[in-house]
Amino acid sequence: MKTVLCWAEHLFAGLLCLFENEIIHRDIKPRNVLVTKDFVLKLGDFGCMKDLNATKPLNEAKTLRYASPEALGFFDGNHMV
């Protein structure tokens, strides 16, 4: 159980870092959560990420099964659209 709690902490710390830097990953799924040899979780595959401060759009590809409402355009950050 301790490992699961540590991994949850690693994952949420990574997501918090993205949030604080106004970045949306847009493709969080098991395949994109990596484990180091020291059992530290890392987020990978930022090919679909969206920088909220960017001036030009990025690739719109995403894995629909794991896409968030924000990534699919159903939520604008404050309410459902």
CATH number at residue 53: 1.10.510.10
Supply the mean pLDDT for the chain. 78
Please report whether residue 81 resides in a domain. no
- E-state strands within 1-81: 23-24, 33-35, 41-43, 50-51
Structural domain of residue 15, as residue ranges?
A: 2-66
Give the largest CA-CA distance in the chain: 43
Tell me how many domains the chain contains: 1
Distance (Å, whole) CA 39 – CA 54: 33
Asked whether 49 and 32 are in contact (CB, 8 A), the reply is no
3-state SS assignment for residue 33:
strand
46-71 pLDDT, tens digit each: 777 777 777 655 555 556 676 767 76
Q: Which sequence positions are flagged as catalytic?
A: 27
Q: Is the pTM of this model over 0.75?
A: no
Please report whether residue 7 resides in a domain. yes
